[in-house]
Amino acid sequence: MSMLRSKLIQVKVEPPPSPHSQEVQVEEKRKAFTDYARKSNLPSLDDWSRDSLLVPSIRGNNITYSSPSGLNSCSSLPTDGSVVQIKSSLFEGKLVTRLRDADKASDVCNNYFRNRSRQYNWIVQGTFIQRTRFDDVITGQEFGRPFRNKPSSQIVQRLLDMLKHKLPESFECDFLAEKPFFRHPLIAGCQHFRIDKVTDFSAEDELHGISTDGNVIEDTCLLNDAKIPQDGAGRRKFFSKNSNLSRFYFEPDLMYTFDFYSDFFSPTKFSLEMAPLLSIDIMRYFNGYPLFLSMAKDKSKGEYLWATEIWHKRLLNYEDTPGRLARRCW
C-alpha cells in the first residue's frame, strides 16, 4: 500500500525595499560611477577649455609624457598637432594628436581636416625597447564597469556577424562582460604604417615620413617580404591573418610609425557622426568611463606602450542616462 504525502510549499515574499535602502543603493552606484574619475585626478571642470579633455591614462602608470613647449598645468595633452614625447618601459618616441575643431588649433591641424570627414587622428613614431611579436601589440578599448542599458546578446552577435568579414581573425570582444572590451593587433588597425632606420629620426618637434596632406607615407620595405602589399588597406588585410602576424617582430633597432584616424567617432561630442544630419549619442552607455583615444598594449605582459584617454564633462554626470528613444534603438 502506497502512501501519498502532500507537501506544503512556502513562498517567501520579500518586502519592497524601503526608501532608505533605495537611496543607499543609488549612492553606491553613484560612488562606483565616479570612482575612476576621482582616481584619474582630473582638473576642475572650470579649468577645461572645452567640453572634452585629453589626458594620460592612469592605466599606463609607467608612461611619461613631455613636450618641448611644456605641458599645461591641467596635465592635459595638446590636441592641435603638437608633438609630445612619450616614454615607457616598452616604447620610446613621439605622439601627435589632432581633434577636429580643437581650440587654438594650428593652421596645419585645420588644414588636415579640411575637405575630410575625419573626426580625429593620432600618430605615434618611435622605437621598441624589446623585440616584440606583431600579434602581441594590440589596441582597442577596455572598460572597468559594465555598460549601462547594454543591448541584448542576440543583437550584439548579429552586429558582429554583419562585421565579421571586415574584422581581423584576431579580433576579440565581449561587450556584455562586467568589464567590456574589444581589441585587435595594432598593425592590422592603423590606416598608415611605415618602418625606418633609427638614423632617420628627425628633430624632437617633428615627425619623419609625413606627406604634404598630413598622412604617414606607407613603407613596409624593411620587413623584407614581397608578399606584403605596399598600400595601407592591403597591409591591414594581410596582417588580419594570425598566420602572418606571428611571423613578424617589432625590432629595437628600427623606427616604427603608426597613423590612425576615424571618420565616424567624434571625441568632442562622444557621438557617431554617420551623416551630416545623423549623429548618434553614445556617451551615456559608458557608465562614467572614458575612451582610449590612442593606445597600444603588450598583450603578453599586460603593460601599455602608450595610453591616452578622452574625457567629456557629461561622462561625470551620473544623472545623464540613455533616454527611452536611445534604449529602443537597441
Q: What is the pLDDT of residue 8?
A: 47
Q: What is the pLDDT of residue 41?
A: 86
Predicted structure pTM score: 0.85
In 3D space, the residue among 19, 330, 319 whose CA is nearest the CA of residue 154 turns out to be: 330
Q: What is the pLDDT of residue 13?
A: 52
Integer Cα distance of 105 and 247 in angstroms: 41
Q: What is the pLDDT of residue 19?
A: 62
The helix or strand, by DSSP H or E, that contains position 296, with its residue range, turns out to be strand 291-298
Query: What is the C-alpha R_g of the chain?
Result: 23
Q: What is the pLDDT of residue 68?
A: 67
Q: How many CA atoms lie within 13 A of 84 on its CB side?
A: 29
Q: What is the pLDDT of residue 21?
A: 64
Q: How many CB atoms neighbour CB 67 within 10 A?
A: 17
Give me the amino acid identity at 309. E
For 264, phi then psi, to 5°, come to -115, -45
Q: What is the pLDDT of residue 262?
A: 92
Q: Please list, residue by residue across 294-304, b when 16 or more beta carbons sit within 10 angstroms of its beta carbon and e when fewer do.
A: bbbbbbeeebb
Sites in the chain below the pLDDT cut of 50: 1-9, 11, 73, 323-330
